[in-house]
Amino acid sequence: MPATSTQIQQDFDRLADLEGDGWSHNNHYHAFLLKQLPERSELDALEIGCGTGAFARLLAGRFRRVLALDLSPRMIEVAKERSRDFPNIEFQVADVMTYPLPVKQFGCVASIATLHHLPFEAVIAKIKPALAPRGRLLVLDLYQAESVGDFATSAVAVPVNFVLKWLKNGRVREAPEVRAAWEAHGRTDVYPTLAQVRGDCARLLPHARVKRHLLFRYSVVWDA
């Protein structure tokens, strides 16, 4: 059964004090996401599910202002602490589904490992009017392996994952309390298959570019 917003908030409040800024499956793809964006824009950017603010800080170097939302109060506290040198980031404790987004405001809306917690059709309906003309939606998220290609990619990813963890973080496994927190959260996580993602995008985001990535992630790039 999918987690409620309260459960998700509690999980990430716990994780906020355990997660550092070391290498992860998510930030491994930050460079890929940045390549999809202009070097500089006079528009604003929005990040949905900003966590401790790592990608928001990268967006702050490209856009006039960044609005970064997260459901977890503790994540936002940590993000503010780590972003003191970024005055153009506004962090807000908020649920994007109820937050009053301005219309045609954002040159970029980004979401990393967050949309699987939300009803896809409803959140896309919320995001699309907020994008400025030619604004870009960037999604990086997890998927449920289903096809032969998915399982083959995952089989290759497992040893690569171990090597990268060792090279980047100096260890293969996280601390026991971090593993326990992620395992507890994972018991209620539900991921779409890539077929579902592609079907939803074909229906809701015409001409979106959907890509399967090695480390258990997919991306969506779509222009308003």
Q: Please tell me which residue, 133 or 188, carries the higher pLDDT value.
A: 133
- Mean pLDDT over 205-223 rounds to 97
Q: Which residues touch 58 (CB under 8 Å, ≥6 apart)?
A: 30, 34
The per-residue pLDDT for range 139-173, each reduced to its tens digit, is: 999 999 999 999 999 999 999 999 999 999 988 88
**Average pLDDT value for residue range 2-6:** 78
Q: What's the rounded Cα separation, in Å, for the pair 34 and 53?
A: 15
Are 151 and 145 contacting, i.e. CB atoms less than 8 angstroms apart? yes
Domains in the chain with CATH codes: 5-146+178-223 (3.40.50.150)
Q: What local confidence, expressed as pLDDT, does residue 4 receive?
A: 84
Q: What is the DSSP letter of 171?
A: -
Task: State yes or no: pLDDT of 132 exceeds 60.
Answer: yes
Q: pLDDT confidence of 1, banded at 50, 70, 90?
A: low
Structure tokens of 70?
């997260």
pLDDT at 181: 75
Give the CA radius of gyration of the chain.
Answer: 17
- Strand-pair category, 131-142 with 89-93: unpaired
Q: What is the mean pLDDT of the chain?
A: 93
pLDDT tens digit string along 48-94?
999 999 999 999 999 999 999 999 999 999 999 999 999 999 999 99
pLDDT of residue 10: 83
Closest residue by Cα to residue 9 from 51, 44, 39, 43: 51
Q: Which two tokens stand for residue 1?
A: 């059964």
Residue 214: its pLDDT value, please? 96
β-strand partners of 144: 193
- The answer to whether residues 99 and 122 touch, using CB atoms and an 8 Å cutoff, is no
Could you give phi then psi for residue 113, rounded to 5 degrees? Answer: 55, 40
Higher pLDDT, 2 or 12: 12
Is the separation of the CB atoms in 223 and 42 below 8 Å?
Answer: no
